[in-house]
Structure 1
Amino acid sequence: MSRVEEIISIVSENKKIEVNELAELLQVSRVTIRKDLDKLEARGILHRQHGFAVLNNQDDINYRLAINYDLKRKIAKEAAKLVKDGETVMIESGSTCTLLAVELAHHKRDVTIITNSNFIASYIRKAESVKILLIGGEYQKDSQVNVGPLVKKVISDFHVDKLFVGIDGFDEQRGFTGSDITRSDTANTMMTSADNTIVLTDSSKFSQVGVVSEFAFEDISKVYTDSRIAKEKVKFLEKQGIKVVTV
């Protein structure tokens, strides 16, 4: 774990921590810790207030992107192998999905990405090798995603082979779960416009349960995750007919 990731972990656990205490915990100088905090503040993950480092909204996409970043990037690299040059794919919002879009932008040619994520569209806006079709709707500012009836109406006019999605949790009775009912409903509609729905998630999500049921097991063809996923979870998913790819 990098020092920046350690800072994110500590601040996430405490919500608010004194900058000097943070420097002592990580055994670095105050100058070094302030430079690290400058970077995290610029990325929208936290802010400083009267000598404290304070966590921003955990639903903010910048925060979620920073958590387990290296693992998510490996997952995205592996999942990108599924996409061919010239293909049109659908990518739902989420941190690992964002990194997949980056991989496609950097290493594929003439790929079209249909997405409801303003964050993804902005993140890869300078890439000339991909075309972005951004679906509009009700805007959720923290996650920078469009949801609701308009998105669902427009999505129904498309059909693709592959939809890539993220999840917020997992439950053996309820399937894959989300944390926002409107976002989950939108993602579920996107699923009906794809032949294959592929989950991209780091293994931590298999220890969490979201408040909303998002996808049934039969809806998902593949799961891309990291090797820290528990073996019993892999066996369970495979029994449901889902191929699990670990990195």
Structure 2
Amino acid sequence: MNNRQMEIMNIISKESKINVNELARKFNVSQVTIRQDLRALDKQGMLKRVHGGAVAITDDRISNRMCLNYRVKKRIAREASKMVQDGETVMIESGSTAAILARELANKKEVTIVTNSLFIANHVKELNNINVILLGGILQKAAEVTVGPLIRSSLDNIYVDKFFIGVDGFTEETGFTSIDMMRAETVRCMAKRAKNVVVITDSTKFGVRGVTHLLDTEAVSTVITDSGIGKDYEEFLIEKNVKLIKV
């Protein structure tokens, strides 16, 4: 995604609808160029093309959540990608920042992604240098993820160095939390197969409490977030020997 497309995503996250003519004037490019941008973003599931422009996806799909705070999530994902080596196998759970990370790994050579996210698998399927191992289980259609006991057997003989996850909340009392119990259980199963668990999330999740426990603070090795994280949370994570990276 180029800088102009990133700015288009920023605009549509605020205005919900964008017009080809207005964008062409704003960026001082042709309407053909803008249509190409919108076509590319539509193909990635980032927006929906309509006559004369495009509209934001308004449901709770990952593609819609990717639009929110997109620039911040992009920086977080780019920083996380630096942890991945050419030829490495990593696990990535579902989430908007996780999906952006999966695309960032296109800059690596022969990376394998183990995931329970059908969305992520589709999001990178045309990238020749990324291989995907999709974990089987019960499909949550709205979230496009697999969950349930079959995940455990799917994980047999799979061990990775890094497992990247998003979260729905964090407080000092609860640790990392989620809004979905079955997905939380799946994350815990996947985390047991990784040497290092890396949380990738924007700072708005700190101070928010999800409905169910996800992981203890001590179970996470690294947190990558933006500079908006509160000082108290920053100090708490460091005290718990969690490596904190701010972008």
With structure 1 as the length reference, what TM-score do the two structures score? 0.80
- Distance in 2, Cα, partners of 1:55 & 1:226: 25
Q: Say if 2:232 is the partner of 1:232.
A: yes
For the Cα contact (< 8 Å) 1:44–1:56, is it kept in 2?
A: no
2:98 partner letter: C
For the Cα contact (< 8 Å) 1:224–1:246, is it kept in 2?
A: yes
Note the residue ranges of structure 1 that are not aligned, 5 or more in a row: 12-18, 24-28
Question: For the aligned residues, what is the CA RMSD?
Answer: 2.8
Partner of 2:59: 57
Partner of 2:122: 122
- Distance in 1, Cα, partners of 2:164 & 2:69: 19
- Distance in 2, Cα, partners of 1:47 & 1:210: 33
Tell me: CA distance 1:68–1:189, structure 2 relative to 1, closer, same or farther (3 Å). same
Partner of 1:102: 103
Partner of 2:201: 201
For the Cα contact (< 8 Å) 1:47–1:56, is it kept in 2?
A: no
- Distance in 1, Cα, partners of 2:68 & 2:81: 20
CA offsets 1:39-59 (integer angstroms, 9 cap, x no match): 6x95476899xxxx997333x
Partner of 1:160: 160
Report the alpha carbon displacement of residue 5 of structure 1 after superposing the two structures with TM: 3.8
The partner residue of 1:8 within 13, 16, 28 is 13
- Residue aligned with 1:233, SS: helix
- Distance in 2, Cα, partners of 1:135 & 1:143: 15
For the Cα contact (< 8 Å) 2:46–2:66, is it kept in 1?
A: no
What is the identity percentage for the equivalent residue pairs of Structure 1 and Structure 2?
A: 40
Report the alpha carbon displacement of residue 142 of structure 1 after superposing the two structures with TM: 1.9
For the Cα contact (< 8 Å) 2:199–2:224, is it kept in 1?
A: yes
Partner of 1:15: none
Tell me: CA distance 1:86–1:3, structure 2 relative to 1, closer, same or farther (3 Å). closer
- Distance in 1, Cα, partners of 2:68 & 2:96: 9
Q: How many residues align?
A: 223
